Amino acid sequence: MADSNSMRIPTPVGGTPMHIDGVPSILFAIAYGVLVPFIVARMFRPGNRSALLVGTSIYAIERVVVYSLRASQAYGATRNTSGGLLIYLQLSLAQGYITMAQDTVPLLRVMLVHATNPPVEDVIEPRHPEVKDNPRTDPTNKSKMRFWVRRAMDVLNLGFLAATVPNGVQGGKYKTALHNQEEADKLQRFRYASTAVTLLFMLIIGVWTLYAYFRIANVRRAAALRILTILALILPVPIYRFATMHFTIPDLLFTGPGSLESGSSKALFYVFHCLPEWATAALLVLPNTRKLFRTGAWGDWRGQDGQKGCVAARKEQREEKERKRLASVNVANGTGNPNMSSVV
């Protein structure tokens, strides 16, 4: 146990809630609340429903709770420095932008797969002199390209665990970090690791999307621009976190330099951390993302071209049942062959 006089703990991102946090917290709770009806309505509209946005949708709904709790703390009689509540709010703030950044991976995957095997009406001339191939030619190479795109997206998706796991580990260390310098130092390293990995993968997704936009034939430009816009909106969050996470304080009630409790510090938090998250969530859940990216209900979940999608499998089952039913009717009427279903 370190001497309490020499303890330095990582400053909570956004500081601990004070009276000044009340109004902006209420506004953000309302702003996220506005998104909830659209999220719920999308679940019940088959043409808009998409499992690819489940992470962002859950995060947006959970943010209503987060900002409501922050507002209740702000207007409390005394500053609430409860360890459990502090941990929850800090982990939620650390995870939200990671979830939205990761939700661009399946969108990028669908976009690239469609670019190598687009519907006939989507086939266009290459936009760049170096792009010579036609997406309908050399199907073997295109199939291989789709295979490796899917493998790369799988790796990219798993890579986000390197951001999520350190963020989760923070939960186990936060409470002890308030009283133990060694644990406090570990907590600081985990915060940096989570943010650094997320920023790295965001840059990889951005570079890949830009490459597809300029160099791959038949990529939907509007879809690529949507991914780039999402990344641009969420980019200030990890940058802000890098700029503020180095601050430390002796205890949670400290309001001096490095505590992020001043009016200007609070303003920067809401402008560069909270607002970009809300704008990104709104861009993902308000427009018809499924239609723009042609994701279907489940996106491109197949490991290879030969696997049937859910819709195709269900259609095949219905057709088989119908063939058997017709065969049974014909047999009953004496006009058919009992083995008709196997012949059809």
pLDDT value at 1 more than 90: no
Q: 164, 95 in Cβ contact below 8 A? A: yes
Structure token pair of residue 339: 């083995």
Angle of CA points 196, 199, 200, to nearest 5°: 85
Which residues have a Cβ under 8 Å from the Cβ of 178 and sit 6 or more positions away?
Answer: 9, 83, 184, 251, 252
Ranges of beta strands (E only) in the chain are 9-10, 248-249
Domain parsing of the chain, residue ranges: 9-307, 308-344
Within 13 Å of residue 212, how many CA atoms lie on the same side as its CB?
29
Q: Is 9 helix (H, G, I), strand (E, B) or coil?
A: strand
**Residue 247 token pair:** 């601050």
Give the C-alpha separation, 216 to 218, whole Å.
7
Q: What is the pLDDT of residue 80?
A: 62
CA distance 237 to 273: 5
Instruction: Give me the mean pLDDT over the 232-258 stretch.
Output: 94
CA-closest candidate to residue 213, choices 68, 335, 330, 108 = 108
Res 152 pLDDT > 70: yes
Per-residue pLDDT tens over the stretch 209-240: 999 999 988 899 999 999 999 999 999 999 99
Return the CATH class of domain 9-307.
Answer: mainly alpha
Please give the average per-residue pLDDT across 113-128, as a whole number. 58
Look-up of token digits 């050399």:
138
Rounded to the nearest 5°, which phi and psi values hold at 3? -60, 130
> Mean pLDDT highest for which of 81-85, 130-134, 310-314?
81-85
Task: Compute CA distances 327 → 316, 319, 320, 339, whole Å.
Answer: 16, 12, 11, 8
Q: In this predicted model, what pLDDT tens digit does every residue of 44-80 receive, in sequence order? A: 887 778 888 899 999 999 999 999 999 998 888 556 6
Range 192-209 average pLDDT: 96
CA–CA gap between residue 299 and residue 296 (Å, rounded): 6
Q: Is there a contact between 241 and 313 (Cβ–Cβ < 8 Å)?
A: no
Average pLDDT over residues 327-336: 71
Mean pLDDT of 237-246: 96
Euclidean distance between CA atoms 302 and 104, whole angstroms: 17
Compute the distance between CA of residue 151 and CA of residue 105 in angstroms, rounded to an integer.
12
Q: pLDDT confidence of 30, banded at 50, 70, 90?
A: very high
- Using the predicted structure, report yes or no on whether residue 121 has a pLDDT greater than 80: no
Three-state secondary structure string covering 73-94: HHCCCCCCCCHHHHHHHHHHHH
pLDDT at 304: 62
| 139 token code pair | 């199907």
Amino acid at 102: Q
Angle at 164 between CA 282 and CA 188, to 5 degrees: 110
Closest CA to 230 of 171, 174, 289, 271: 289
